[in-house]
Structure 1
Amino acid sequence: MAEPQHILDCDVLVIGGGINGAGIARDAAGRGLSVVLCEKDDLASHTSSASTKLIHGGLRYLEYYEFNLVRKALIEREVLLRAAPHIMWPLRFVMPHARGQRPAWLIRAGLFLYDMLARRELLPASAGINLRRHAAGQPLKPEFERGFIYSDGWVDDARLVVLNAIDAGEKGATILTQAVCQKLERKSADWEATLFKPSCGQIRVNARYVVNAAGPWTAGLLHGAVPREEAGRLRLIKGSHIVVKRIFEHDNAYIFQHPDGRIVFAIPYEQDFTLIGTTDLDYHGDAGQVAISEDEISYLCGLASQYFAQPIVPADVVWTYSGVRPLVEDGADAKAVTRDYRLEVDSNGPPILSVFGGKITTFRKLAEEAVDHIAKALDNRHGSWTHNACLPGGDLFGAEPQNRSVRDFTQWTHAQQARYHWLPPLLVARYCRAYGTRLHTLLSERADVAAMGEEIAPGLYAAEVEYLRRYEWARSAQDILWRRSKLGLHLPADTADTLQAWLNAHPLAR
């Protein structure tokens, strides 16, 4: 084999560009460690863009007595809301109560515990509601008279990954997308990894420490690098979602209970749609080729139709997505497998830390704990820092996270619409939600619509595409339409072909 064309030396090599890998790269780079992150596809191209898109404690985990996990997630919920108020925001959830379900007093007690497990500054408490009088009762079948309402948060999951990668990059990390790790070898003093990136060939990385954050591929990567019989105990759980045209006009979400113990959410999505999910099924196929089944579509439609007055049928589905959650194997039923994480360190030579399990809400805490391990091993004494730091674009009213950024986001958006009055207000509002204060970078030195360049698709200008390619590692139409945004839901079906042709005709400047 020919010698690698490029050689990189670093303190930490992170393998995996999902939320855990990006979060660890960000934290480590912020502590002054030199970091290389490699991702074989696009950032957030697998599990981390296929979540239910919630920042939540996990109300249903209380029935499995996972109080520590729920409390940890509830604490993180408001930390994250303050850090990135542009891509996440508070959301109220309505739980209709039906005959045959748990007694109302028991649900109320569970919600009271949910409210009390962690301090709340931004989110209102739970309450009982009369669905005959509440707006959330109108789309439901008339037999649902009583319900409950509680608070959690919503997040643009793929953008959360990208923002962590941006912050890592701005703190000195090298982010390599479309770079597969072909070989990982433990040497006497460090690790030697051979990466392959089509645009530049082989890259050799010498690292003092390796982080294995490969999601569904974590166990396989660990076994290849550190052969041992017990390497990796992951259980792959498939979760699928459907998207239909908007079912209800209010801004609350729903949580529906199924007799089999599973729950399904119905969430306002992208202004014009409703997101319904998720399923929980053991998965044994190729994690890179996961897709929803007809049975899952029927299951989600059927469960939602038990609650909504207007039945939902498979023909109503306009988009679906599926992901494989790499969870810690604990022998439980698929719906009850723990969402907590486990960090395993092999220090029999240069160390490797593997991430098993986890949920998007606790990614920052997971990253902090992981980098604490790394810092100790590498004698780095910087200390943790992400608890009180904004993610890129989240500094609406100052450098530090503030409650005001969550509460006054609409006010801040109106100010940007006035500042960029030459753009359509709805487009500025979309930029505010996607980019936060980074919209000033996108719109720098532009003073009229003509300066935005070609309108490649309705509302998608060359200026935004170039921003995404330059600052956010977007390379394909899929990256732009379905991960950096969800414009694919709103634009004509042939937009992906049109955009890809434009990208091919306008190579990214090196």
Structure 2
Amino acid sequence: MSLPDVDLLVVGGGINGVAIARDAAGRGLSVLLCERDDIASHTSSASTKLIHGGLRYLEQFEFALVGKALAERKRLLRMAPHIIWPLRFVLPHQPHLRPAWMIRIGLFLYDRLGGRRGRGLPGSRSVNLRKHITGRPLRDDFIHGFVYSDAWVQDARLAVLNAMDAAERGATVLTRTACVSARRAEQAWDVRLRGADGVSRQVRARVLINATGPWAVRFLDQVAQVPHRHSLRLIKGSHIVVPRLFEHDHAYIFQQPDRRIVFAIPYEHDYTLIGTTDVDYRADPSAPHIDEAETQYLCEAASRYFKRAIQASDVVWTYSGVRPLLDDESDAASEITRDYLLTLDREGAPLLNVFGGKLTTARKLAEEACDRLAPLFGGLRPAWTGTAPLPGGDLPDADFDAFHEDFSLRRPWLPDALALRLCRNYGSRALRIVESCSHLQDLGECFGADLYTAEVDYLVDCEWARSADDILWRRSKLGLRIDAAGAMQLQGYVARRVAGRVDADVPAEDA
């Protein structure tokens, strides 16, 4: 079976791949994106969930990277105010690790690079931890600290929304579809894709984009089979989730004796997220897991600061991701640059390789990628993504609180926690889930954790959800709350719903 020819074939459904597909589709190119698993099923759903400039990168003199990231932070807060929001961070001062003057200079630069008048983000300041609310959970020997601003993001949803926007602008998005071979000709790539059902399809693309993240070098060696000199250093970052350690809405950034930093962040209302580690990784990037040493490191890192010691037995969930970082020959994993590299190989049909990158700069990376490709295509529309909201982000004046208040007042039958979660996950698209409902029972069967069939149907129909895990751990984090029976019931329902969609979508002669 053959698919229509396309201008771009993007391989990889992580944040970089979906951002490129979105930008290119909006410029008028025909785009096909394939992802062998679910959207954001690997590194892009295993982050520390931050949109930030990277305060610690200033120590490595990465001023350009920090400035670029902080400019993107301002844009993203307006593009997706439902899944991205401001977050204040507290840095308790440890004089023997970094002197106060060094921290003050760093925060001064961070404020200036980010713009003191950035949307809803107050500047940094010193705090007395014996009087400030954030000092209460900390050990008594922490007296002084610093507060600064960054932003929180629902990482997997950021990727899904980019993919949705790409599809709504004409791109074809194929999940559970692997790129198994790519043969280069002078003018185009002949590519074979294989779906989860084992069926192969051929497609011809003028440009091939390698956005496979940790597999970028392997893709060049084994799939595209092109010579190259590229090298990636794979770094595993792990996180632990524990019951809530504090009541306020600030996050903490903790300096460690090894000069790394560890975050402790309010998470899903009832939990605290602690991370991350930086460990060189050489195993399969598909299934990284936290090890005992990482768990111990994170527990000890937080226990140096909190009055309440954190034990491994407190951990209710863990996750790990593999970051594909440019190998700059740094000795320490934490010192490797988080910047990205785009290379355009024109020895035959064009091949664009994406190396490195992070959630915060993915939109900019995609814009630069499409700018690089523009001369290959005549009459392309100009760059456009800097001001265009992501699906659900078209809230008046990007004011989430006002939208949430109006949404809730119009639907008094919705429980408060469910109304907030729907608004946070879907923004204005939440209206599509509840538009035909006037009572809670109209949402259909409840699987537990306030998850109803109306929401599940939306995720299957509009967001490529194909399993319970897609819904419970990437489209949401309801896996923290749902019980085993509810998860099993959900899996059965999703399987039946997906089977019905497949039957409906297959033409009669192919069924």
Q: Which TM class, normalised by the smaller chain length?
A: over 0.9
**SS at structure 2 position matched to 1:312:** coil
**SS at structure 1 position matched to 2:259:** coil
Shift of 1:491: 1.7
Hey, what's the Cα distance between the residues in 2 that align with 1:244 and 1:264?
15
User: Deviations along 1:254-277, whole A, 9 cap, x unmatched?
Assistant: 000011111000000000000000
Q: Which amino acid aligns with 1:121?
A: G
**SS at structure 2 position matched to 1:495:** helix
Residue identity (%) = 56
Bigger shift: residues 348-357 or 196-205: 196-205
Hey, what's the Cα distance between the residues in 2 that align with 1:252 and 1:240?
21
**What's 1:400 paired with?**
none
Q: Which amino acid aligns with 1:271?
A: H
Is 1:83 matched with 2:74? no
**What's 1:337 paired with?**
336
**What's 2:368 paired with?**
369
Match of 1:414 among 400, 405, 409: 405
Bigger shift: residues 274-283 or 220-229: 220-229
**What's 2:277 paired with?**
279
User: Deviations along 1:324-351, whole A, 9 cap, x unmatched?
Assistant: 0001110012000000000011001110
**What's 2:204 paired with?**
206
User: Deviations along 1:231-255, whole A, 9 cap, x unmatched?
Assistant: 4211101000000000000000000
Bigger shift: residues 112-121 or 263-272: 112-121
**SS at structure 2 position matched to 1:388:** coil
Is 1:170 matched with 2:161? no
Q: Which amino acid aligns with 1:107?
A: I
**What's 2:222 paired with?**
224
**What's 1:322 paired with?**
320
Hey, what's the Cα distance between the residues in 2 that align with 1:467 and 1:23?
22
Q: Which amino acid aligns with 1:39?
A: E
Shift of 1:409: 1.7
Hey, what's the Cα distance between the residues in 2 that align with 1:290 and 1:232?
23
**What's 2:247 paired with?**
249
Is 1:121 matched with 2:118? yes
Is 1:461 matched with 2:460? no
Distance 1:378 1:224, change over 3 A: farther
Q: Which amino acid aligns with 1:30?
A: G
Bigger shift: residues 424-433 or 249-258: 424-433
**SS at structure 1 position matched to 2:286:** helix
**SS at structure 1 position matched to 2:353:** strand
Hey, what's the Cα distance between the residues in 2 that align with 1:9 and 1:447?
46
**What's 2:509 paired with?**
none
**What's 1:266 paired with?**
264
**SS at structure 2 position matched to 1:289:** coil
User: Deviations along 1:81-123, whole A, 9 cap, x unmatched?
Assistant: 1100000100000000023121111111110011011324221
Hey, what's the Cα distance between the residues in 2 that align with 1:64 and 1:380?
41
User: Deviations along 1:260-297, whole A, 9 cap, x unmatched?
Assistant: 11100000000000000000011000000210001000
Bigger shift: residues 437-446 or 476-485: 437-446
Hey, what's the Cα distance between the residues in 1 that align with 2:271 and 2:484?
17
Bigger shift: residues 211-220 or 423-432: 423-432
Asked if the contact 1:222/1:232 (under 8 Å) is kept, the reply is no
Distance 1:56 1:126, change over 3 A: same
Is 1:491 matched with 2:488? no
**SS at structure 1 position matched to 2:5:** strand
Shift of 1:229: 5.2
**What's 2:508 paired with?**
none
Hey, what's the Cα distance between the residues in 2 that align with 1:478 and 1:376?
41
Unpaired stretches in structure 1, ≥5 consecutive residues: 398-403
Is 1:359 matched with 2:358? yes
Asked if the contact 1:92/1:253 (under 8 Å) is kept, the reply is yes
Match of 1:10 among 1, 6, 11: 6
* Superposition misfits of 4+ residues, deviation over 6 angstroms: none
**What's 1:56 paired with?**
52
Shift of 1:422: 2.3
Is 1:43 matched with 2:34? no
Asked if the contact 2:180/2:223 (under 8 Å) is kept, the reply is no
**SS at structure 2 position matched to 1:287:** coil
Q: Which amino acid aligns with 1:42?
A: D
Shift of 1:199: 4.2
Is 1:131 matched with 2:129? yes
Distance 1:228 1:181, change over 3 A: closer
Shift of 1:378: 2.0
TM-score (norm 1): 0.96
Asked if the contact 1:220/1:232 (under 8 Å) is kept, the reply is no
Hey, what's the Cα distance between the residues in 1 that align with 2:489 and 2:311?
31
Q: Which amino acid aligns with 2:321?
A: G
**SS at structure 2 position matched to 1:63:** helix
Asked if the contact 2:447/2:487 (under 8 Å) is kept, the reply is no
Unpaired stretches in structure 2, ≥5 consecutive residues: 505-511
User: Deviations along 1:43-89, whole A, 9 cap, x unmatched?
Assistant: 00000000000000000000000000000001000100110000010
Bigger shift: residues 450-459 or 283-292: 450-459
Asked if the contact 2:91/2:146 (under 8 Å) is kept, the reply is yes
Distance 1:226 1:184, change over 3 A: closer
Shift of 1:226: 5.1
Shift of 1:490: 1.6
Is 1:308 matched with 2:306? yes
**SS at structure 1 position matched to 2:306:** coil
Is 1:97 matched with 2:96? no
Asked if the contact 2:466/2:495 (under 8 Å) is kept, the reply is no
Q: How many correspondences in the alignment?
A: 498
**What's 2:472 paired with?**
481
Q: Which amino acid aligns with 1:501?
A: G
Shift of 1:222: 1.6
**What's 1:445 paired with?**
436
Match of 1:69 among 59, 65, 69: 65
Hey, what's the Cα distance between the residues in 1 that align with 2:229 and 2:486?
44
Q: Which amino acid aligns with 2:380?
A: R
Hey, what's the Cα distance between the residues in 1 that align with 2:318 and 2:98?
31
TM-score (norm 2): 0.95
Hey, what's the Cα distance between the residues in 1 that align with 2:494 and 2:463?
15
Q: Which amino acid aligns with 2:98?
A: R
Distance 1:64 1:381, change over 3 A: same
Q: Which amino acid aligns with 2:107?
A: L
**What's 2:105 paired with?**
109
Bigger shift: residues 193-202 or 139-148: 193-202
Asked if the contact 1:456/1:502 (under 8 Å) is kept, the reply is no
**What's 1:401 paired with?**
none
CA RMSD for the aligned pairs? Answer: 1.2
Shift of 1:12: 0.3
Asked if the contact 1:196/1:203 (under 8 Å) is kept, the reply is yes
**What's 2:233 paired with?**
235
Shift of 1:34: 0.4
Asked if the contact 1:469/1:508 (under 8 Å) is kept, the reply is no
Q: Which amino acid aligns with 1:283?
A: Y
Bigger shift: residues 420-429 or 337-346: 420-429
Q: Which amino acid aligns with 1:206?
A: R
Shift of 1:463: 0.6
Q: Which amino acid aligns with 2:118?
A: E
**SS at structure 1 position matched to 2:182:** strand
**SS at structure 1 position matched to 2:3:** strand
Shift of 1:28: 0.3
Asked if the contact 2:183/2:190 (under 8 Å) is kept, the reply is yes
